[in-house]
Amino acid sequence: MPLVERPSSFVFPRRLGAAVPTVERAEGAVVWDRSGKRYLDGSGGALVVNIGHGRREVAEAMAAQAAAAAYVHGTQFTSAVLEEYARRLAVHAPGDCNRLYLVSGGSEANETAVKMARAYHLALGQTSRHKVVHRSVSYHGNTLATLALSGRPNLRAPYEPLLPSAPEAMAPFCYHCPLGRAYPECGVACVEDLEAVILREGPETVAAYIAEPIIGASAGAAVPPEDYARRAREICDRHGVLYVADEVMTGFGRTGRWFATEWSGVVPDIMTCGKGMSGGYMPVGAVLAGERVASALTRSPGGFVHGFTFSHNPVTAAACLATLDVLENEGLVERAAVMGEKAMARLRALGAHPHVGDVRGRGLMIGVELVADKESRRPFPRAEGRAEALGAEAFRRGLVTYPGGGGASGRDGDVVMLAPPFVVTEAELDEAAAILDGSLSALGL
CA 253 to chain centre: 12
Q: Which of 213, 220, 274, 403 binds ligand PLP (CB under 6 A)?
A: 274
Least distance in Å: CB of 216 to ligand PLP?
Answer: 4
Least distance in Å: CB of 329 to ligand PLP?
Answer: 26
Least distance in Å: CB of 138 to ligand PLP?
Answer: 8
- Cβ atoms of residues 264 and 213 within 8 Å: yes
Cα–Cα distances (Å) from 270 to 102, 150, 372, in that order, read 13, 18, 39
Question: Is the backbone of residue 129 left (phi > 0), alpha (psi -120 to 50) or beta?
Answer: beta
Nearer to ligand PLP, 43 or 110 (CB): 110
Nearer to ligand PLP, 256 or 274 (CB): 274
Least distance in Å: CB of 286 to ligand PLP?
Answer: 11
The whole-angstrom separation of Cα 332 and Cα 233 is: 29
Give me the residues paired with residue 208 across strands. Answer: 132, 242
Nearer to ligand PLP, 220 or 314 (CB): 220
- Binding mask 12-51 toward ligand PLP (x if CB under 6 A, else -) reads ----------------------------------x-----
Nearer to ligand PLP, 122 or 137 (CB): 137
The whole-angstrom separation of Cα 420 and Cα 406 is: 22
Nearer to ligand PLP, 28 or 105 (CB): 105
Least distance in Å: CB of 274 to ligand PLP?
Answer: 5
Least distance in Å: CB of 46 to ligand PLP?
Answer: 6
Least distance in Å: CB of 64 to ligand PLP?
Answer: 25
Least distance in Å: CB of 306 to ligand PLP?
Answer: 17
Least distance in Å: CB of 136 to ligand PLP?
Answer: 15
What residues numbered 92-151 form the site for ligand PLP, per CB under 6 A? 105-107, 110, 139-141
Cα–Cα distances (Å) from 264 to 10, 119, 190, 223, 245, in that order, read 47, 28, 17, 11, 12
Residue among 197, 210, 189 at smallest CA distance from 239: 197
- Number of Cβ within 10 Å of residue 70's Cβ equals 12
- Cβ atoms of residues 164 and 150 within 8 Å: no
Nearer to ligand PLP, 111 or 393 (CB): 111
Question: Is the backbone of residue 375 left (phi > 0), alpha (psi -120 to 50) or beta?
Answer: alpha
# chain residues binding ligand PLP, by CB under 6 A? 16
Residue among 379, 144, 140, 367 at smallest CA distance from 254: 367
Nearer to ligand PLP, 44 or 285 (CB): 285
Least distance in Å: CB of 142 to ligand PLP?
Answer: 6
The contacts of residue 321 (CB under 8 Å, 6+ apart) are: 61, 81, 84, 85, 88
Helices (runs of H) and strands (runs of E) counted in the chain: 13, 15
* Segments in 272-425 forming alpha helices (H): 291-299, 314-329, 332-348, 386-396
Nearer to ligand PLP, 203 or 276 (CB): 276
Amino acid at 351: G
- Binding mask 283-322 toward ligand PLP (x if CB under 6 A, else -) reads --x-------------------------------------
The whole-angstrom separation of Cα 194 and Cα 206 is: 12
Nearer to ligand PLP, 256 or 276 (CB): 276
Q: Which residue's Cβ lies closest to ligand PLP?
A: 106
What residues numbered 177-216 form the site for ligand PLP, per CB under 6 A? 212, 216
Least distance in Å: CB of 113 to ligand PLP?
Answer: 10
Nearer to ligand PLP, 110 or 313 (CB): 110
172 binds ligand PLP (CB under 6 A): no
What residues numbered 218-257 form the site for ligand PLP, per CB under 6 A? 246, 248-249
Nearer to ligand PLP, 41 or 212 (CB): 212
Residue among 418, 359, 413 at smallest CA distance from 394: 418
DSSP 8-state assignment for residue 373: B
By CB under 6 A, name the binding residues for ligand PLP.
46, 105-107, 110, 139-141, 212, 216-217, 246, 248-249, 274, 285
